[in-house]
Amino acid sequence: MKKFFVTLILTLCLLTNSALAAEAGYILDNAELYPTATGADYCDEIVQETLAQITYDGMSTYEKVLACYNYLVDTCSYGDNVLRLDFPEANGTARAYGMLVGHVGACDDYSCAFAALTRAIGLNCYTVYGLTARASGGMTGHIWCVIAIDGVEYVFDPQIDDNIGAGEYYRFCVTYDETPGSYENGEVRWGYFEPFF
């Protein structure tokens, strides 16, 4: 009997994950694309090199975005992004560059790297600053990404998923309503990556 319940629970988890992936696929694959560079040659070069390594022309938008997310979660770790200090501007492009080259950074760096990659694909991705729930309770300052599609904001938070995901993503293409109590007071993080329109 125990084996039956374990199998049932695993099957339900797989079906739920498959349904969520299908929904995210539909959302992302139907988004209008406006490929956008950062405007900083040093950053745009590493963004294009990274995309060339992890994506190819036949991939859907969903597959490309998932490849970017997987890349950050699989190759980066939380820490001090010292490479961003090589540039006088303390902006999103310096943080994205530092993360994509050094593979170490904080929430700012994960989010800026994800925004730079997905904007190059053509999505209206921008960084948001506010509060997120702490595992130990309460809230703490945090930066995450939002991709706006047809007036709906979808949360993408590779740094949180890297720390708590354990192989599953809880903050990939979800609305704020789908993550109740996880985020508060989110505002665009000006000087990093701002909305297209």
Supply the pLDDT for residue 129. Answer: 96
Distances (CA, A) of 65 to 68, 131, 173: 5, 24, 10
Q: What is the CA radius of gyration of the chain?
A: 17
**Which pLDDT band, with edges at 50, 70 and 90, does 114 fall under?**
very high
Question: So what CATH class is 2-188?
Answer: alpha beta
What is the pLDDT, as a whole number, of residue 144? Answer: 97
Question: Across the chain, what does the average pLDDT equal?
Answer: 87
pLDDT at residue 2 tops 70: no
In this prediction, residues 73-78 reach a mean pLDDT of: 95
The angle formed by the CA atoms of residues 76, 126 and 105, to the nearest 5 degrees, is: 20
Question: How many Cα neighbours within 13 Å face the side chain of 75?
Answer: 16
pLDDT at 86: 77
Query: Which range among 16-20, 123-127, 168-172 shows the weakest confidence by mean pLDDT?
Result: 16-20
Mean pLDDT of 101-127: 97
At 156-193, the pLDDT tens digits run: 999 999 988 667 899 999 999 999 999 999 999 888 99
Q: Is the pLDDT of residue 87 over 90?
A: no
